[in-house]
Amino acid sequence: MEAGMNRIHGIFFEESNLTLGTGHTQKNQKLKNYCMANQIDEAQVKLAFLGDDGEPTGIEITMPVDEFLKRFTFEPNFKTPKAKSKEEKVADKHSAMAEKHRERKEYFSAEWEYNKALKIEPENIRANFGVGTLYMEMGETEKAKGVFKKLAQVEAIFEEENKHIFNEFGITLRKTKMYDEALANYMKALEISPQDENLYFNIARLYYDKEDGSKAQEWLDKALNINPDFREARQFKDVLAAAAKKAKTGPTKSPEE
């Protein structure tokens, strides 16, 4: 925040929670809404909101200084997202069309659109991940595994801007029992986001699926060291404790994602 005459000036963000799904599939995702803030007088701050590309959206508001300071946090290291190439934009367009077909369960049309995207840009993360998970939905596990092995070699998936994808990618690899690939994915992800408790939790889930309760416990403890209020991790610890007690009487229900 620039200190000229102690006025607010710079890039700030407000963090909000987005709830996705319902019931057992419900998940909370944290979102950051960025803006350029400029204090216009002693009482008011003008906010110009930024889009995903880092460019102004045209939405501007003013709010009281005290309210702004309560809601927004200064971001000194804000980086404008890399501009997409022409090929990436076209590939994303085909991926978006594929996702619409997929929502309507038009799987073969979705596959066709994803493959068009991949012909244009073979390493497109959105298209590769999309077609891989599509094959899982279609029951074509071996095809899916082939796509995921290819995607694991695309270094761009581990860039911070793709964090939401590499976390989902790790979960998908685990569900397809590609444990070594999933663990390698998570370890790379931790290099980028070492304070993301969800990554530690997902590694614990991986070891649970491999029936290694002690390793699962170890990674859960790491998650809780970062966020002691991590409810799902504490519930998972209860599951592990119950599994240890009932090891000889049958499997314990796995925790939800």
Assign residue 190 the CATH number of its domain: 1.25.40.10
Which single residue is written with the structure tokens 């007088």?
41
Report the b/e string of 185-201 with b at 16+ CB within 10 A.
Answer: bbeebeeeeeebbbbbb
pLDDT of residue 159: 73
Q: Is residue 182 part of a domain?
A: yes
What pLDDT is stored for residue 63 in this prediction? 94
Confidence (pLDDT) at 256: 54
In a domain, 79, yes or no: no
Q: Which helix (H) or strand (E) holds 62?
A: strand 56-64
Domain that includes residue 113, residue range: 85-194
Distance in angstroms between the alpha carbons of the first and the last residue of the chain: 39
Burial track 119-146 (b if 16+ CB lie within 10 A, e otherwise) = ebbebbbbbbbbbbbbbbeeeeeebbbe
63 and 122 share one domain: no
Tell the residue number behind the tokens 């077909």, with chain if given: 101
Final residue of a domain: which of 194, 212, 233? 194
Which parts of the chain have pLDDT scores under 70?
1-6, 18-30, 80-83, 160-161, 163-164, 247-257
This prediction's pTM:
0.57
Q: What pLDDT sits at residue 248?
A: 59
Q: Are residues 225 and 184 in the same domain?
A: no
How many whole angstroms separate alpha carbon 163 and alpha carbon 178? 20
Token reading at 225: 């060291």
107 within some domain: yes
Pairwise CA distance, residues 103 & 244, whole Å: 41
- Look at residues 166, 194, 222 and tell me which one is the last residue of a structural domain: 194
pLDDT for 19: 56
Note whether 117 and 178 are same-domain residues.
yes
Looking at the structure of the chain, the number of domains it has is 3
> What's residue 135's pLDDT?
93
Per-residue pLDDT, 152: 80
Structure tokens at 43: 């009482």
